[in-house]
Structure 1
Amino acid sequence: MGFVDIIIGALLVFAFYKGLKNGLFVELASLIAFFIGVFIAIKFSYAVSDLLKDFFLWSSKTIQVFAFVLTLVFVVLGIHFIAKLLSSVANFAFLGWANILAGGVFAVIKSALLIGIFLNLFQKVNINDMMISKETQESSLFFNPCMKTSYFLLPILGDWFTDLKEKTANWDKKEVSTKSEEKNKSEEKM
């Protein structure tokens, strides 16, 4: 067991502890909240940005980013509140032990997925195996299994980021056309 295994193992043990502490409903909600939050923020942050334009004199990029983050935070907080409520119901129904144990297992699986995504991104930077050698990667107990867990998630995330990029590009085009229309109107008045 090498240094990489110790780091990944420690992260997985910490995830198990945190999952035991939070329970399944909160752990599941944190994962669902992230994905639903990103999805809703991509789809609806333009509406929030239109509202924010009336209150702030920021650049359109700043307003778009702020609207995205604000939408994401509200969705995550809303789902987290619902999860806490469900955890309270589970504890009241004497299912707290099942909620806690399932939360620990789910937290390990969720963390393995996130570690796998990070390791896949790390491989893009680890050119010619300069940071972590190929031998270390192959002899590692956790490195390759964690990487393999994330393979099915990467295309989904890639599609979401492409969609976000397109939405942002459309906002820029909309702002440029709006500014040119305003300029034309002001020139016509003169």
Structure 2
Amino acid sequence: MYVWLACQSFNFEPMDFNHWDIILFIPLLFAAWKGFSKGLIIELASIAALIAGVYVAANFSEIVGAQLKSWFELEGTWSGYLAFILTFVGVVFAVYALAKILEKAVNLVALKLVNKLAGLVFGIVKMALILSIVLNIVSWFDHLVPVMSKSEPQNSLLFEPILKSAPTILPILTESGWMEKAEEVAAPLFEMEGEGLEDDND
């Protein structure tokens, strides 16, 4: 019922949707709900925490490791691993703590709904980019070994816009020419595999 109403509001016929739309719509819907429930601040903090955690741990875990050695007399390898993990976790918790404080401040000035709606939009955009990167990789493999193209993704309403979203927003995906370079390396492998299958059939 809800899907039908959505179709009518955008002048889409339900028959225009195919299985690709369902596959893509489910994660987008989940991302929208997750983004709305968390809000923009926490959504941004989740990304910032990962980036900051990896950066700080990679550059400053040696200092933490040296301190752990002096405290617990740990071996070099173990102290390095433990220092990286502790530094990463510490930074992630610190970023989340700051985000929670900022979120409470935003809620106090009656911007909670704005934060939630912005989180919903950000969640959809983030998931669309993730799906776009995945679809671009799958489409590249499909160019070598046609499988996905047989399922008629061109008849999907969501497939083409999502496929193009990442290369549009992140031009490095197309400007770097990584797909062409990867094809040059992988194509002979697929040709060899195809010849092997033909020999087996003979």
TM-score bin, normalised by smaller chain? 0.5 to 0.7
Pairwise CA RMSD: 3.1
Whichever of the two has the greater Rg, that structure is 2
> Structure 1: which 5+ runs fail to align?
159-190
Q: How does 1:126-145 map to 2 (within 5 A)?
A: 126=142, 127-130=144-147, 132-133=148-149, 136-145=152-161
What letter is aligned with 1:11? P
Structure 2 residue 103 is matched with structure 1 residue 87:
yes
Deviation at 1:26, TM superposition (A): 0.7
What letter is aligned with 1:128? V
Look up the match of 1:8: 24
Higher relative contact order (CA 8 A, sep 6+): 1
Q: How does 1:29-108 map to 2 (within 5 A)?
A: 29-51=45-67, 55=72, 56-57=74-75, 60=77, 67-108=83-124
TM-score after normalising by structure 2? 0.60
Q: How does 1:145-164 map to 2 (within 5 A)?
A: 145-151=161-167, 152=170
Deviation at 1:32, TM superposition (A): 2.0
> Structure 2: which 5+ runs fail to align?
1-16, 177-202
Deviation at 1:42, TM superposition (A): 3.1
Supply the distance in 1 between the matched residues of 2:83 and 2:24 (Cα, whole angstroms). 35
User: Quick check: 33-42 or 117-126, which moved more?
Assistant: 117-126
What letter is aligned with 1:10? I
Supply the distance in 1 between the matched residues of 2:106 and 2:82 (Cα, whole angstroms). 36
Look up the match of 1:26: 42
Supply the distance in 1 between the matched residues of 2:24 and 2:99 (Cα, whole angstroms). 28
Deviation at 1:133, TM superposition (A): 2.2
CA deviation profile, 1:61-106 (whole Å, cap 9, x unmatched) = x765554444333222221111111111111111111111111111
**CA separation of 1:2/1:65 partners in 2, compared to 1, >3 Å: closer, same or farther?**
farther
TM-score after normalising by structure 1? 0.63
**CA separation of 1:65/1:87 partners in 2, compared to 1, >3 Å: closer, same or farther?**
same
What is the count of residue pairs matched by the alignment? Answer: 153
**CA separation of 1:120/1:68 partners in 2, compared to 1, >3 Å: closer, same or farther?**
farther
CA deviation profile, 1:6-42 (whole Å, cap 9, x unmatched) = 1221111111111111111111111222222333333
